[in-house]
Amino acid sequence: MAERKLFKGNEAVAEAAVRAGCRFFFGYPITPQNEIPEYMSRRLPEVGGVFLQAESEVAAINMVYGAAGAGVRVMTSSSSPGISLKQEGISYIAGAELPCLIVNMVRGGPGLGGIQPAQSDYFQAVKGGGHGDYHCIVFAPASVQEMVDLTMHAFDVAEKYRMPVMMLGDGVLGQMMEPVVFPDPAPRDLPTPDWATNGARDGRATRLINSIYIKPDDLLRHNHKLQAKFKQAQVDEVRCETVNTEDADIVLVAYGTSARVCRSAMDRARSEGLRVGLVRPITVSPFPYQVIADVARTARAFLAVEMSMGQMVEDVKLGALGAAPVHFYGTPGGIVPTAAAIVEEARKIAKAEVGK
Amino acid sequence: MKQVYAVPKALQPRATHYCPGCTHGIAHKLVAEAIDELGVRDRTVGVAPVGCAVFAYDYFDCDFQQASHGRAPAVATGIRRALPDAVVFAYQGDGDLASIGAAEIVHAAMRGERITVIFINNAIYGMTGGQMAPTTLVGQKTTTSPAGRKLEHAGSPIRIAEMLSTIPGAAYVARVALSSPAHVARAKRAIRKAFDTQLAGAGFSLVECLSTCPTNWGMAPIEAMTWLEENMIPYYPLGEFRTPEGGASNG
Amino acid sequence: MSKVVFDEAKCKGCGVCVHFCPKKVIQMADRINAKGYHPAYLANEGDCISCGTCGRMCPDAVIEVFKP
């Protein structure tokens, strides 16, 4: 039985990546995720890996592109303004079908914003972010243990689909300390993929890592291929937790840090006689639309709770498709919502929707 | 009969998309000749830029990655770090390397990244239709400097070889011209030396190739080569600016 | 076999080989190739010294040179 250790979220992500076989990290400092590159700068040399502090986020993501194209497990991490800078590279990585992990410990924006935790980059993470039609697979952990488990899973998913995978956290998740168990990594042979540009040895045909398709027909086919992969991920990779939704009148929908608060709010509301449930998307891309649709058949209303001005709420509405009203409560600017405020919102909605 | 000149094997046997007389083709051949001579085709990974050479991967017979605009040195860095025994080269134009990618090239050199960069300086943006480049000469007319580049407005053209030669990690930095048989012979030696520098583990290497853009300069191929020699070489002097054996004379 | 062999289909008729040939033995043909260019050809093999200059200067890897 693996030992439980107290780990800070950021360092837990880094250690999990190492245990998943990631040996290459390219990054650039930005608060609140600096523990990840700092940890990697110590840890990767111990296992024969490479940590390299790039000259910018732009350079870092392009180093990820090069290393991923060479066929190795590779990651980067950043926070909102830095992720904005990486978007061009992420688009190229998606276009060139390269697997990698991008950790995003979101802080408040827009612009330089603040350094406090936020969920205001949901659109950027799940709707593309860079140019062109593409999706990342985006995980939204809500605990340090879940960050560990999802990070170890993320590399497999990235390679299965040849897609960039994002770990969407925030300053709270990165900084909090919780006991975690690191699954013993099964001794795994990580073969070099058969598309990697690692030198055309032994007479094999040359390979190309590329995102340019200058003939419209080719680009059309390429886009259909990218979309087909994501459609498959929508079938096979959606993860979602539901709590107390069976009898709930009001169902909270939240991910990550705000989902932790919603769980407390749900318990408090139940103790006060309000039938409140919780849907917690674990993958926010692909989004658990079907879970929302199923819950919409029995719930009176949804309340999406986000540390933003309302972004995921649009996906909740897409899932509900009018079968139940979708309300929103948000705390932008680096503010974490309080359970009391959420309960108050739920009570108001119950009065309006259930009282009818 | 004895073969005096053979098309290098590291080139794919296909026609390029480059305009007639464009010296990109000469640079491609010199790179391919170096790869052939060193016998490293099967462990070479090239990085193509954004610009006229975006399709370079179609012309070299080795593994390739295509990079976003200006980021070829960063992509090459990722490949280099992942594949310690690969031969890694980036091929970039002057808009790509000297403008949008200025940070990436400086820091790749600063790290002494063991990559070879072939830098094509033709004083103009070719692929996009002849706009002013950071290397456009003062007075040179382009589609975005229709009255000629003005010093007080756009500043001086950037001398990349000289700038990089101040960086200790840059083990080999040279500037050559592709405008005559004698210059091409020197360019061939410089490109070979740049790859030798990489294989010796000495650090970063870059060869700036003064090149022609007959189409966007509005000149016939030979006229363009003459223009290069009369106008570019006086501003962009040729020679080796840093060498692994140069010691104190470097920089 | 000719001293200078042209992969004529790749020739873009730029004339660089013609210009730099020290013996002026290369000319541009009157006919056009599949690309629509007048290709270069060896007009005077007798005076060719097999120096290889045309091959080295050709931007399109059209030319290979041989010495008897």
Per-residue H/E/C for chain A: CCCEEEEEHHHHHHHHHHHCCCCEEEECCCCCCCHHHHHHHHHHHHCCCEEEECCCHHHHHHHHHHHHHCCCCEEEEECHHHHHHHHHHHHHHHHCCCCEEEEEEEECCCCCCCCCECCCCHHHHHCCCCCCCCCCEEECCCCHHHHHHHHHHHHHHHHHHCCEEEEEEEHHHHHCEEEEECCCCCCCCCCCCCCCCCCCHHHCCCCEECCCCCCHHHHHHHHHHHHHHHHHHHHHCCCEEEECCCCCCEEEECCHHHHHHHHHHHHHHHHCCCCEEEEEECEEECCCHHHHHHHHCCCCEEEEEECCCCCHHHHHHHHHCCCCCEEEEECCCCCCCCHHHHHHHHHHHHHHHHCC
Higher pLDDT, A186 or B154: B154
All residues at 6 or more sequence positions from B146 whose CB lies less than 8 Å from its CB, including other chains? none
Report chain B residues whose CB lies below 8 A from the CB of C3.
1
Does A338 have pLDDT greater than 60? yes
For the stretch A123-167, pLDDT in tens is 999 998 999 999 999 999 999 999 999 999 999 999 999 999 999
| C-A interface (Cβ pairs under 8 Å ≥ 3) | no
Ordered structural domains, chain A, with CATH: 4-236 (3.40.50.970), 240-354 (3.40.50.920)
| Domain residue spans of chain B | 24-246
Does C9 have pLDDT greater than 70? yes
Does A1 have pLDDT greater than 60? no
Q: Which residue of C has its CA nearest to B12?
A: C61
Contact B75 A211 (CB under 8 A): no
For the stretch A277-303, pLDDT in tens is 999 999 999 999 999 999 999 999 999
**Domain at C4-65, CATH class:** alpha beta
Residue C6: predicted pLDDT: 98
| Domain residue spans of chain C | 4-65
pLDDT average, residue stretch A93-109:
97
Low-confidence ranges of chain B (pLDDT < 70): 247-249, 251
Does A190 have pLDDT greater than 90? no
Interface list for chain C against chain B, based on CB atoms closer than 8 Å: 1, 3, 7, 9-10, 12-16, 19-20, 35, 37, 50-61, 63-68
pLDDT average, residue stretch A314-343:
97
pLDDT average, residue stretch C5-24:
98
Interface list for chain B against chain C, based on CB atoms closer than 8 Å: 1-8, 11, 14-16, 18-26, 28-29, 180-181, 184-185, 188, 214, 220-222, 225
Provide, rounded to the nearest whole percent, the portion of chain A with pLDDT above 90: 95
Indicate the pTM of the whole model. Answer: 0.97
For the stretch C15-66, pLDDT in tens is 999 999 999 999 999 999 999 999 999 999 999 999 999 999 999 999 999 9
Distance from CA of B113 to the nearest CA of C (A): 30
Does A268 have pLDDT greater than 90? yes
The CATH number assigned to the domain with range B24-246 reads: 3.40.50.970
All residues at 6 or more sequence positions from B198 whose CB lies less than 8 Å from its CB, including other chains? B87, B88, B89, B114, B115, B116, B205
ipTM above 0.85, yes or no: yes
Per-chain mean pLDDT for chain A? 96
pLDDT average, residue stretch A245-271:
98
- Write the residue in A65, A198, A200 that is nearest to B78 by C-beta: A65
- Residue A320's pLDDT band (cuts 50, 70, 90): very high
